[in-house]
Amino acid sequence: MIKLISASERHEAQVGDWLQSHYLFSFADYYDPANVQFGPLRVFNHDVVAGHNGFPSHPHAEMEVVTIVLDGELTHKDSIGNEVTLKAGDVQRITAGTGVSHAEANDTDNTAELLQLWFLPNKRGLAPSYENMSLDFLDVHDKLVPLVTGQKVLDNVPFLNSNSTVYFGQVTQGQEIDFKTFKIRKTLVYVLSGSLLVNNVEVDRHDQVRLEQKDVVSLHGAANATFILVDVPATEANY
C-alpha cells in the first residue's frame, strides 16, 4: 500500500506572530480520527519560530521527543538540568518517561526552522533522559543519514526508545536510492525540497507518502531533493 498526502492536506496552525506550524498528524486543536499515528510515530510537526520567541516550559510523559534543527538555532532548557543551544544540523532526543518539562527558545534575530517528531516508547516508566548530537547532515549527497534510532545496528546517533529510525536524505536529479525494508514495517517519506518519485509516485515539496508492506522503497530524484524518511514497526509493544 502507498498513500500520497499533499502539502495542502497538512494542518496549518499560526500561533500569534511567532510560530507557523504544519501538522502531519492530529495535534493540539487538530483532530482527525483517521490520522492519529503511524506505527509508534504519534507527532510530526514542521515549525518555523520567529526570533526572540519560543515554546515556554511544558510537561511531557511517556513519549520520545525528537527535535531536528534545519535552520537557525534554539536554546533548550529542561527540568533535569540540561541547557543546550541547538544549531542547524543538530538532533535532540528527550525521553520524557515518568515526566519532564522543557522549553525551546529562539534567542536570535532570525527565524529557526525545525521538525519535531514524537514516538510512543517501547518501554514505559523510564527515567527521563536527554541526548543531543551535531550530525552535520544538511550537506550530504545521494545518501540517507540516520539521525536518531532505536535499532542497535546503527551507532553514533541519539538513541530512541522505539524500534524506529529517522533518516535525512538527499538525492540528485536522475539519481536513485533504494531503502531496503520489510513487509512488517512501515515507511513515511516527507519531502523538504525538490521532488521525488517514491516507488514511481511523484512526491513534491512538503508532500508526504506513507508506505506499508514493501520490501524496498525506491527514492528517485525527479529534481534535486531533500527529505525525511521515518522507518517504523507496524506494531510495537507497550502502546
Query: Which residues carry a binding-site annotation for Fe cation?
Result: 58, 60, 102, 104
User: DSSP letter at 127?
Assistant: P
Specify whether the CB–CB gap between 235 and 29 falls below 8 A: no
Please calculate the CA angle 169-179-188 and round it to the nearest 5 degrees.
70
The dihedrals phi and psi of 201, each to the nearest 5 degrees, come to -100, 130
Q: Cα separation of 117 and 43, whole Å? A: 5
Q: Cα separation of 78 and 100, whole Å? A: 7
**Side by side, which strands form the sheet with 165-171?**
2-5, 208-212, 185-193, 225-233, 165-171, 143-149
- Which cell goes with 95? 525521553
Residues belonging to the binding site are 58, 60, 102, 104
The dihedrals phi and psi of 89, each to the nearest 5 degrees, come to 95, 0
- Chain centroid to Cα 153, Å, comes to 20
- Chain centroid to Cα 228, Å, comes to 7
- Chain centroid to Cα 229, Å, comes to 8
User: DSSP letter at 111?
Assistant: -
